[in-house]
Amino acid sequence: MQVVWFKRDLRLADHRPLWEASRRGPCLCLYIYEPQLLHSPEFDASHLLFINQSLQELASQLRRVGGQLAIRHGTVPEVLDELHHQHGIEALWSHEETGNSITYARDLQVAAWAKRLGIEWNEFPQSGVIRKLRSRDGWAKRREYFLKQPLAPTPTSITCPRYVDSGRLQSAEELGLTPTNKEHLQAGGVAEANQVLSSFLEYRGQDYSSSMSSPVTAFEGCSRLSPYIAWGCLSVKQIVQELGQRRSELRDAKAAGEHIGNWQKSLRSFESRLSWHCHFMQKLEDEPEIEFQNMSRAYDGLREDEFDPGRFEAWCEGRTGYPLVDACMRALLRGSWINFRMRAMLVSFASYHLWLHWRPTAVFLARHFLDFEPGIHFSQFQMQSGTTGINTVRIYSPIKQVHDQDPEGKFIRAYVPELAAVPNEYIAEPHKMPLSLQGKVGCVLGKDYPRPIVEHATAYRQARERIYAVRRESSARNQAIEIMRKHGSRKRPTRS
Residues that bind ligand FAD (CB under 6 A): 212, 222-226, 229-230, 273-274, 276-277, 280, 339-340, 343-344, 347, 369, 371-373, 376-377, 380-381, 384
Q: Other C-beta atoms within 10 Å of 262: how many?
A: 15
Compute the least distance from the CB of residue 280 to ligand FAD, in Å: 4
Q: Which is nearer to ligand FAD, 364 or 369 (CB)?
A: 369
| CA-derived radius of gyration, the chain | 24
**Cβ 27 to ligand FAD, closest distance in Å?**
30
Residues, the chain: 496
**Nearest distance in Å: CB 113, ligand FAD:** 29
Written as one string, the DSSP assignment of 28-94 is EEEEEE-HHHHTSTT--HHHHHHHHHHHHHHHHHHHHTT--EEEEES-HHHHHHHHHHHH---EEEE
Q: What spatial distance separates the first Cα and last Cα of the chain, rounded to whole Å?
A: 50
Shortest reach from residue 190's CB to ligand FAD, in Å: 16
When the beta carbons of 13 and 222 are compared against ligand FAD, the nearer one is 222
Output the CA–CA distances (angstroms, integers) from residue 404 to 115, 209, 293, 318, 400, in the order listed.
57, 15, 34, 20, 6
| Max intra-chain CA distance, the chain | 78
Contact 455, 386 (CB under 8 A): no
* DSSP string covering 290-330: GGTS-SSGGGTTSSGGG--HHHHHHHHHT-SS-HHHHHHHH
| Pick 229 or 470: Cβ nearer ligand FAD | 229
Nearest distance in Å: CB 318, ligand FAD: 16
CB atoms within 10 A of CB 372: 24
Q: Determine the 3-state secondary structure of 357 from DSSP.
A: coil
Q: Is residue 367 within 8 Å of 477, Cβ to Cβ?
A: no
Question: Backbone dihedral region of 190: left (phi > 0), alpha (psi from -120 to 50 degrees) or beta?
Answer: alpha
Rank residues 110 and 212 by Cβ distance to ligand FAD and give the closer one: 212
Q: How far is the CB of 471 from ligand FAD (least distance, A)?
A: 20
* CB closer to ligand FAD out of 477 and 491: 491
3-state secondary structure of 95: strand
* Cβ distance to ligand FAD smaller for residue 197 or 427: 197
d(C-alpha 422, C-alpha 199), whole Å: 36
Residue type, 389: G
Task: Kindly state the smallest distance separating residue 91's Cβ from ligand FAD, in Å.
Answer: 31
Nearest partner of 328 among 405, 387, 385, judged by Cα: 405
3-state secondary structure of 121: strand
Least distance CB 243 / ligand FAD (angstroms): 10
Comparing CB distances to ligand FAD, the nearer of 61 and 186 is: 186
Residue 376: CB minimum distance to ligand FAD, A: 4
Report the phi/psi class of residue 386: left, alpha or beta, with left for phi > 0 and alpha for psi in -120 to 50. Answer: left
Separation CA 264–CA 219 (nearest Å) = 20
Q: Smallest distance from the beta carbon of 13 to ligand FAD, in angstroms?
A: 18
- Give the nearer residue to ligand FAD in terms of CB position, either 377 or 487: 377
- Minimum CB distance to ligand FAD smaller for 286 or for 371: 371
Which is closer to ligand FAD, CB of 72 or CB of 359?
A: 359
